[in-house]
Amino acid sequence: MSRPDPIRKSSPDTKKNPLSTEEQLKQREFQDEAIVHINALYNYALHLTLNPHDANDLVQETYLKAYKFFGSFEKGTNCKAWLFKILKNNYINRYRKNAREPGKVDYDLIKDFYHTIKDTRRDSTETETDYFHSLLHEEVYMAMQSLPEEFREVIQLCDIEGFTYEEIANMVESPIGTVRSRLYRGRKLLRVQLEEYAKKFGFNTEKDR
């Protein structure tokens, strides 16, 4: 009489396989749950580091850690939020180690970075007269980067990544009320920046072009 295939039961003999059944299961789950968020993590890392090379490293470190500690990930909770939190911690450690100051923005670097991708992602639908619509991706990006980190961060997590306030509060280790007010103030600051960019590069620059 043969028993139904007991997937989880592996005899000591199966050691030939370098990975245990359990490990294989973990891998599969990790791929389904965690690796699907790689684009979001990469974007977040880019926003934090402003450097594709650093972003690569950061995402890789994040996944390495996430894999190691995947056992402690609570199933049913938001895996993307969990990964973001790991990435954020990695980022903080890295900056502390390198004694670089987060928040200090190298505008030339951002510009260069943007120009390298601009051609591939051109939006040709910007014909509206509304000054907001005259803004280019680069300007919005620059305006975002000009915000103090605490504001930029919540805007990124909320507007770009679509996390709930509760998830954001957990990620930035602050109460929800703080998240609310940072979003409020951050958006206000951003609006001022965007208007300035629009004025500078949009409407009043016809003769400069």
Partner 1 sequence: MKCDKARELMSAAVDGELTNRENQAFTLHLQECPACTAEFEEAKKTKQIIQEKIVRFKAPQSLINSIMELSLSGTKEPSDSPMID
Site string for partner 1, 40-79 (x = CB under 8 A): -xxx--x-----xx--xx-xx--xx--xx-----------
State the minimum distance, in angstroms, from the CB of residue 84 to partner 1. 15
Number of residues written out for the chain: 209
**Smallest Cα–Cα separation from 108: which of 142, 74, 72?**
142
Which DSSP state fits 5? -
| Nearer CB in complex with partner 1: 101/119 | 119
Contact in structure between 154 and 172 (CB atoms under 8 Å): yes
Single residue of 10, 51, 159, 178 touching partner 1 by CB under 8 A: 159
State the minimum distance, in angstroms, from the CB of residue 201 to partner 1. 13
Place of tokens 């009489």: 1
Task: Say how far residue 178 (Cα) sits from the centre of its chain.
Answer: 20
Single residue of 89, 103, 160, 196 touching partner 1 by CB under 8 A: 160
Give the residue ranges of DSSP H helices in the chain: 21-33, 38-49, 52-68, 79-98, 107-118, 131-134, 137-146, 149-155, 165-172, 176-197
Q: Does 207 bind partner 1 (CB under 8 A)?
A: no
| Nearer CB in complex with partner 1: 95/180 | 180
Neighbours of 209 (CB within 10 A): 5
State the minimum distance, in angstroms, from the CB of residue 204 to partner 1. 19
Q: Does 165 bind partner 1 (CB under 8 A)?
A: yes
Contact in structure between 78 and 40 (CB atoms under 8 Å): no
| Nearer CB in complex with partner 1: 150/159 | 159
**Smallest Cα–Cα separation from 168: which of 181, 119, 20?**
181
Region near partner 1 per CB under 8 A, out of 24-32, 80-88, 91-99, 200-208: 24-32
Task: Considering only CA atoms, give the Rg of the chain.
Answer: 22
Count of residues touching partner 1 (by CB under 8 A): 48
> Which residue type, as a one-letter code, is found at position 100?
R
Q: Does 201 bind partner 1 (CB under 8 A)?
A: no
Binding residues for partner 1, rule: CB under 8 A, are: 18-19, 23, 27, 30-31, 35, 38-39, 41-43, 46, 52-53, 56-57, 59-60, 63-64, 67-68, 117, 121, 123, 132, 135-137, 140-141, 144, 155, 158-160, 164-165, 180-181, 183-184, 187-188, 190-191, 194
